[in-house]
Amino acid sequence: MNRWLTTFFLVFFAGLILVPASFAQQEPSESARKILNRVTPQYPEMARTMNLRGNVKAEAVVEPNGVVKSVEVKGGHPVLVRAAQDAIYKWKWAPAAHETREPIEVRFDPR
């Protein structure tokens, strides 16, 4: 019985490893698609009163039609993050064959 279970699990896991990648959900690739429309973020009033400047780093998942599907913030001051996300969701990229991940850095300077 123990030998049978061991054989079963070995065959089962070997099958999982050998499943073609086409059956798996394709992850968006990283690229540098051309931005067709870049929206400037609104500088937050709280950041202005704090004389806060800095960058927000993010990664956008962009659909094949160039529309932003999601934005993942990688770093930046919390006061600036929401304004950066709101602006990035309005950006438009050139069409592509598949979804891509686009690295983005938004700069905020009160000057």
For every one of its 111 residues, what pLDDT tens digit does the chain have, with 9 covering 90 and above?
666 555 544 544 444 444 443 333 444 556 678 999 999 999 999 999 999 999 999 999 999 999 999 999 999 999 999 999 999 999 999 999 999 999 999 999 887
Domain membership of residue 67 (yes or no) is yes
Q: Which amino acid is at 77?
A: H
Termini Cα distance of the chain: 75
> φ and ψ at 75, to 5 degrees?
175, 160
Query: Is 21 part of a structural domain of the chain?
Result: no
| CATH code where residue 83 lies | 3.30.2420.10
Q: Is the pTM of this model over 0.85?
A: no
Question: Does residue 55 belong to any structural domain of this protein?
Answer: yes
User: Based on the structure, what is the number of domains in the chain?
Assistant: 1
Helix or strand holding residue 104 (H, E):
strand 100-108
Residue 54: domain span: 27-108
| Residue 88: inside a domain | yes
- Is 85 within a domain? yes
Across 15-98, the runs of DSSP E, i.e. the strands, are: 29-30, 35-37, 54-62, 68-75, 92-93
